[in-house]
Structure 1
Amino acid sequence: MRLCIFFVLLSIVLYASADNPFSRGFKFMKDAAGGTQDMWRAYRDMRDANYIGADKYFHARGNYDAARRGPGGAWAAKAISDARELWQSGISGRGAEDTRLDQEANEWGRRGGDPNRYRPAGLPKKY
C-alpha cells in the first residue's frame, strides 16, 4: 500500500514538473502570485521612502521585478498597474499627463528596462 502511494505521489511530481499544460498553468499562477508580491513590495517601499520624485522609479522597479518572473509576473504587473492608474487618475487630480508618465515607467520596467533610469538623486540606497 505504501509503495502504491509513493508511486502515485511520484507520478504527480513528475507530471507537474514536465512540460505540459498543467505545469505551465501552475507556473503562470506561481509567477503571478510572486509578481503581485513584487508590486506590493515596491508600493510599500515607495510609501516608506516618502521621497519626492521617486514615484516613477518605484513604478518601474515593481514592474521590472514582477516581469522577471515570467509571463505570469508580467501579467500581474500589468493588471495591477492598469488598475492603480485607473483608480488614481480618478482621485489624484494629477491629470492625464501624470498617468501617461506612470504608465511609461510601468512599461519600461515590464520590458526589462533598468528602473534606475527613473531613480531620483538622493534616494536612499536601501531602495
Structure 2
Amino acid sequence: MRPELVEHLHEYVGPAPEALLFTGPKGGALRRAHFNNLVRWVETVRKLGAPGLHFHDLRHTGNLWAAQTGASTRDLMSRMGHDDMRAALIYQRATSAADRRIADGLSGLVDDHRRGPARPHGDAHDPPGAG
C-alpha cells in the first residue's frame, strides 16, 4: 500500500474494521448531494490545474489503470463492486501501449519463425568455419 494512504488511514480513520475512510463534518458518511460544497471541489480542482475534473473521474482513472495491470475481468468486477461484466469490459479497452506490446510480441514470433528452430552450436550441417 502506498505510504500516503497508510498515513491517511493512521491519521484520519478509526481502528474499527467498519470505520469510514472519509467523513462529513459531524463524523458521519459523506453524502453525494453535499460533497462538492463540503470539500470545495470546484475550487480545489481549479487550484490543482484540473478544472472540470469530477470526483467520479478518479474512480474511472483508477479502474482504467487497474485494467492496464492485466487484471482479469472478474478482478475488475470485484474491485468496482459490479455483478455485470459490461462495466469491467469498458476499462479493458485497447490502449496504444497494449497495441505496441502486442505488435512487438507478434514481430518477435515472426522473427523467431524466420530463424527456424534453434540448432546446437557447431551443428554438422553448418558450413565449414561457421559457429
TM interval, short-chain normalised: under 0.3
Q: TM-score, with normalisation over the residues of structure 1? A: 0.25
Where relative contact order (Cα < 8 A, 6+ residues apart) is larger, the structure is 1
Question: Which one has the bigger helix percentage?
Answer: 1
* Structure of greater Rg: 2
